[in-house]
Amino acid sequence: MSSEKLLTLKTRDGEEFVLEEAMAFRSLTIKNATSNYTINNTPLPINVEINTMIKVIEYWKKHSERGISEDELMNFDKKFFKLLHNSELFDLVVAVDYLADKGLSNAACEQVLDKITGKTPQEIRDIFNINNDCTPTSLGG
Amino acid sequence: MNPRLTMEESHMHKRLAVTSGVNVIAGNIDLLSEILLRLPARSLIRFSLTCKLWFYIITGTQFRLSHCRTLALSNALPYSGVYFYNSLTNLQNIDSVPLTGNVTNLPPLPLLDQMAAKTGYPVKVTQSCNGLLMCVISSRTEVSDLKLGFVCNPAKNEYHPLPGPYDKNYEVVCGYNLIFDPSEPPYYKVFCIKRLGTTFRGFSFGSTDLEVSVYVPGSESWRSCCHFYVDYTTRFDCGVFWNGAIHWIGEYFSVHFDAKSEEVVIKNMPPRPQGDFTEKIRYFGEWGGHLHLIQVQTRYAKRFNVLELDKDTWKWSVKYHVHLARLISAFPEMIKQTPYGIHYAFSILSVIRGENEEDSVLLLTIPGKVVAYNLVRKTTKVVRELPGEVANTLHFNHVSAYKYTESLFPVREWSNTKK
């Protein structure tokens, strides 16, 4: 463990935390940022809030575990996403999009898809908190 | 309102939602598009009514193109049903049968009747490809035999006429074929097969020289690809697009035209079943990435094999043995006594491969019905009642069903989609 390189990150709301580089590099954004300049122990700022980052790290930790089976991962994912409120899920989607982690991004988007598949337009508006600005004439043609 | 949340939770939920992620997504076109691209076209057509922003995203040409490509690459094209011509009856109109519980009816095809009324000539669907339909207007008169094509998107009721492919004096169009290539916008191409020869009083005296030409949306005209020759029994009005190539078959030879390399390969058909009868092909089609062929001993044979072509070895092998005795005893209206012997009235619409092997069926029309005969369990299910009296002389066409899946493809703006 002492040979693991560590990275210090600072969230949008000012919280600092330390992460193993290997795990942090699941995010292409972080990986590219660190390759562009030397850090010298100054924390790397990331445009994510601490609450959301905690969830991301929880996911990364589980998916980095050695010897974990496909089934265990599937169960973890199921529970992980089930516990999120809609708003937390959306925060996660935005954060992961920024962090550029393809695997988690796909998983999170699938969750959003599950929420909206089969719903009526009105139910979609409720989930996304959208105003109905459509009138029959405005959508003509 | 989500009925599962309490009033209090629901208020808190809305308050959080206003200040965070959900609004970012809802307003972030790229992120929203990323999510929406994964939805089936059927859902998107419904969701385009959610709000103006969603409408603009979903109906945007770029989104529609990306969606078709994403869907094609995902290998999970969900077919909602098939269109078909009932070749047991004399009815000329196209009918349809839905295949999933979610769909009650396929979109009607008013374009066909409109085109027919506008031109005064019969209009027919000849092929389907990734949700679009290839349609042909046949104007046959005493002095000419012209076939003009247009591509139609039934889900959006849009169409795109193709330029006329004729350039020399004496040519006969045998058929048009639509293909989809997700590696290269504008993704669709149309191929035309012409027989170079003479027409006299509306009849074609074909030389056997055949030409394939291609039309890429955005170009002004057809481009000639290659010439080849094959025997007269090979039919070019009902090609099947499979494994990157268009396949045409005849009694003795099969022709494969690779859409990328534009090369023609001619192979022998599998050995024909014994018997005097000359036309042995009962069905030729594709489903779920599998290419199927049914050859029969006689036209009214109730026992036959379904062959499948292997992608790698290019060899046909028997996939299913079919014996319709049980079906015929369950539906005795299939039995027709004629002066020439007992004939069985059925027409094969499609071999449908299910996600699980035991869901694979043979879709058939019989007098008054469409039935699905399970190829593994040998059970039958009536799928639909059908109007129309069975004709006295049964006529078979080995391609008569056209798969339908909703597609967002912007057929109307096709000419503008080439980069």
ipTM given for this complex: 0.74
Work out the pLDDT band at B17, boundaries 50, 70, 90: very low
Using CA atoms, how far apart are residues B175 and B195, in angstroms rounded to an integer? 10
B1–A87 CB contact, under 8 Å: no
pLDDT at residue B13, rounded to an integer = 45
Q: Which residues of B touch A128 (CB under 8 A)?
A: 22, 25-26, 50
- Residue B392 pLDDT exceeds 60: yes
> Is residue B16 within 8 angstroms of chain A, CB to CB?
yes
- The predicted structure's pLDDT at residue B205: 58
Q: Does B43 touch chain A (CB under 8 A)?
A: yes
Residues of A whose CB is below 8 A from B28: 94
Q: What are the tokens at B252?
A: 């003795």
Chain A neighbors of B47, CB-CB under 8 A:
116, 121, 124
Say yes or no: B17 contacts chain A, CB-CB below 8 A.
yes
Digit-coded pLDDT (tens) for B183-229:
887 889 999 999 886 555 556 555 568 899 999 988 889 999 998 98
3-state SS class at B408: coil
Which residues lie below 8 Å from residue A55, measured CB to CB, with a gap of 6+?
A: A80, A84, A88, A92
- Across the interface, do B51 and A132 touch by the CB < 8 Å criterion? yes
Q: Give the amino acid at B157.
A: N
**Is A130 within 8 Å of B46 when comparing Cβ atoms?**
no
Q: What phi and psi, each to the nearest 5 degrees, are found at residue B274? A: -65, 160
Q: Which residue has the higher pLDDT, B362 or B23?
A: B362
Out of B16, B25, B50, closest to residue A94 by CB:
B25
Q: Which of B6, B9, B25, B58 would you mutate first to test chain A, the one with the most A CBs within 10 A?
A: B25
Residue of A nearest to B13 (CA): A87
Is the CB of B28 less than 8 angstroms away from the CB of A91?
Answer: no
Residues listed for chain A:
141
Residue in the structure block whose two tokens are 């496909």:
A70
Contact A90/B24, CB-based, under 8 Å?
yes
CA distance A72 to chain B (A): 25
Please list every residue in chain A whose beta carbon sits closer than 8 Å to the beta carbon of residue B23.
129
Q: How confident is the model at residue B16 (pLDDT cuts 50, 70, 90)?
A: very low
Which member of A93, A110, A134 has the closest CB to residue B21? A93
- What is the chain A residue with the closest CA to B29? A94
Q: Please, what's the b/e burial string for B172-195 (b: 16 or more CB within 10 A of its CB; e: otherwise)?
A: bbbbbbbbbbeeebbbbbbbbbbb
| pLDDT value, residue B35 | 87
- Residue B299's nearest CA partner among B338, B246, B255 is B338
| Residue B15, pLDDT score | 41
Nearest to B21 among A90, A124, A125 (CB): A90
Q: Measured between CB atoms, which of B1, B31, B47 is closest to A126? A: B1
Enumerate the H helices of B89-228 as residue ranges: 110-119
Residues in A closer than 8 angstroms to B2, CB to CB, are 126-127
How many beta-carbon pairs under 8 angstroms link A with B? Answer: 91
- Residue from B9, B11, B12, B31 whose CB has the most chain A CBs within 10 Å, to mutate: B31
| Mean pLDDT calculated for residue range A111-137 | 81
Chain A positions touching B48 (Cβ under 8 A) are 139
**In whole angstroms, what is the distance from residue A108 CA to residue A89 CA?**
7
Cβ within 8 Å, pair A133-B51: yes
Task: Show Cβ contacts of residue A67 under 8 Å, excluding neighbours closer than 6 positions.
Answer: none
Instruction: Give strand pairing partners of B132.
Output: B129
Taking an 8 Å cut-off on Cβ atoms, the answer to whether A90 and B49 are in contact is: no
Q: Which one of A48, A112, A115 would you mutate to disrupt binding with B, by most B Cβ within 10 Å of its Cβ? A: A112
| Residue B350 Cα, gap to closest chain A Cα (Å) | 29
pLDDT range class, residue B175, cuts 50, 70, 90: very high
Round the CA-based radius of gyration of chain A to a whole number and report it: 18
What's chain A's average pLDDT?
Answer: 84
Residue B245 half-sphere exposure toward CB, CA atoms < 13 A: 17
Q: How confident is the model at residue B171 (pLDDT cuts 50, 70, 90)?
A: confident
What are the tens digits of pLDDT across the range B263-314? Answer: 999 999 998 888 777 778 889 999 988 999 999 988 788 899 999 999 999 8
B5 touching A (Cβ < 8 Å): no
Tell if the CB–CB gap between B20 and A90 is shorter than 8 Å: yes
Say how far apart CA A137 and CA A139 lie, in whole Å. Answer: 5
Q: Do A112 and B18 touch (CB under 8 A)?
A: no
Query: pLDDT class for B147, splitting at 50, 70, 90?
Result: very high
CA B260 – CA B278 distance, rounded (Å) = 34
Within 8 A by CB and 6+ apart from B89, the residues are B388, B389, B390, B391
